[in-house]
C-alpha cells in the first residue's frame, strides 16, 4: 500500500477487525453496545428528541465493522471481509428487531406526519447524500491519520462504489426536486389564499400541499368568500394546474357579558 507504513496498517487492523486475542472482548463489547444504542434511538424517535437520537449515534458501534469492510476490501482480506459483512447484517437486523419490539409498547402510531424524527428520515434530499459522503470520508481519514481522533461522535456512515452512488443519487435528486417544488407551491398558494381571505374578513388557518393537490383551510364570519374569486387569483398567479380543495369553517363572534 503506497504511502502507508506497516505500523499504520497494523493500527487500522487493530481498530476495525475482530481478530486476535482481543476478538471475544471486542465482540462482546459490540453486542452489548448495539442493543443499548437501539433502545436509546427508539426512545429518541418516540419522544421526538434529536439530542437523544444523537446520543444513540455516539453509543452505536456499527461504524467499526462498516469501516472494517472498506479496509478488508483494500487489503484483500477475505476472512475479515466476511466477518465484518456478517456483523453489519446481523447488527442491522438486531437493531430493526429491537425497534420493532419497542414499537409494540407504544400505544399510538409514530409516523412522519406527527413525528419530526421519522419525517426527517423518510424524506431524503440530495443534501443528505452529500453530508453522508463527507462525514463518511471524515471517518475514513481519521483511521489513516493517527493525528486525527478515531472516535468522532455522531459521524454518519456512508460507503459507496460508483454503482451504489449512481443508484442512490438518482432517486435522491428526484426526491429533492419533488420536495422543493411542493414547498414552493405551498408557499405560493398560501400567499394568494391569504390575500383572497382577508378581503372578506377571513383568515387562512392552514395550507397543505401533497403532489398536485392543495388543501386550504380558512375560517371567518358569514358570508364566506367566493371560491370563483380564489380560482381567478390562483390562475393569475400561474397556479392554474393545481387541484385545490378549500375547507371553509364559518365562525361567529359574540361579546362576553359585562
pLDDT tens figures, 227-256: 999 999 989 988 887 888 999 988 876 777
Each domain of the chain, given as residue ranges in start order, spans 6-159, 183-250
Structure confidence at residue 154 (pLDDT): 42
Cβ–Cβ under 8 Å, residues 61 and 33: yes
The CA-CA-CA angle for residues 155, 114, 192, to 5°, reads: 105
Q: Is the peptide bond before 223 cis (omega within 30 degrees of 0)?
A: yes
Read off the pLDDT of residues 106-128 as tens digits, 9 standing for 90 and up. 887 887 777 888 887 777 777 77
Alpha helix (H) ranges present in the chain?
6-16, 23-46, 50-59, 63-75, 78-103, 116-122, 126-144, 162-198, 227-236
Asked whether the beta carbons of 53 and 120 are under 8 A apart, the reply is no
* Model confidence pLDDT, tens digit, residues 188-222: 888 999 999 998 889 999 888 876 788 999 999 88
- In the CATH hierarchy, which top-level class contains the domain 183-250? alpha beta
Cβ atoms of residues 35 and 94 within 8 Å: yes
Entry pTM: 0.56
Q: How many CB atoms lie within 10 A of CB 63?
A: 18
Cα(33)–Cα(40) distance, rounded to whole angstroms? 10
pLDDT band at 97 (very low <50, low <70, confident <90, very high): very high
pLDDT number for residue 184? 80
pLDDT band at residue 91, thresholds of 50, 70 and 90?
A: very high
Amino acid at each position: 500500500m503506497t504511502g502507508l507504513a506497516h505500523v499504520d496498517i497494523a493500527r487500522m487492523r487493530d481498530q476495525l477487525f475482530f481478530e486476535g486475542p482481543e476478538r471475544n472482548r471486542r465482540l462482546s463489547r459490540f453486542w452489548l453496545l448495539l442493543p443499548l444504542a437501539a433502545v436509546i434511538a427508539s426512545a429518541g424517535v418516540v419522544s421526538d428528541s434529536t439530542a437523544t437520537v444523537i446520543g444513540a449515534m455516539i453509543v452505536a458501534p456499527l461504524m467499526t465493522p462498516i469501516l472494517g469492510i472498506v479496509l478488508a476490501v483494500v487489503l484483500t482480506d477475505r476472512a475479515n471481509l466476511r466477518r465484518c459483512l456478517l456483523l453489519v447484517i446481523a447488527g442491522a437486523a438486531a437493531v430493526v428487531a429491537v425497534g420493532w419490539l419497542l414499537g409494540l409498547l407504544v400505544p399510538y402510531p409514530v409516523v412522519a406526519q406527527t413525528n419530526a424524527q421519522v419525517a426527517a428520515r423518510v424524506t431524503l434530499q440530495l443534501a443528505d447524500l452529500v453530508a453522508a459522503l463527507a462525514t463518511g470520508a471524515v471517518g475514513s481519514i481519521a483511521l489513516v491519520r493517527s493525528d486525527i481522533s478515531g472516535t468522532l461522535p455522531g459521524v454518519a456512515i456512508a460507503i459507496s462504489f460508483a454503482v451504489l452512488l449512481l443508484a442512490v443519487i438518482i432517486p435522491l435528486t428526484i426526491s429533492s426536486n419533488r420536495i422543493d417544488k411542493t414547498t414552493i407551491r405551498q408557499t405560493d398558494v398560501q400567499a394568494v389564499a391569504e390575500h383572497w381571505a382577508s378581503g372578506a374578513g377571513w383568515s387562512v388557518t392552514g395550507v397543505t400541499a401533497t403532489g398536485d393537490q392543495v388543501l386550504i383551510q380558512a375560517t371567518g364570519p358569514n358570508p364566506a368568500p367566493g371560491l370563483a374569486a380564489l380560482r381567478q387569483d390562483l390562475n393569475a398567479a400561474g397556479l392554474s394546474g393545481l387541484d385545490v380543495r378549500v375547507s371553509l369553517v364559518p365562525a361567529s363572534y359574540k361579546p362576553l357579558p359585562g
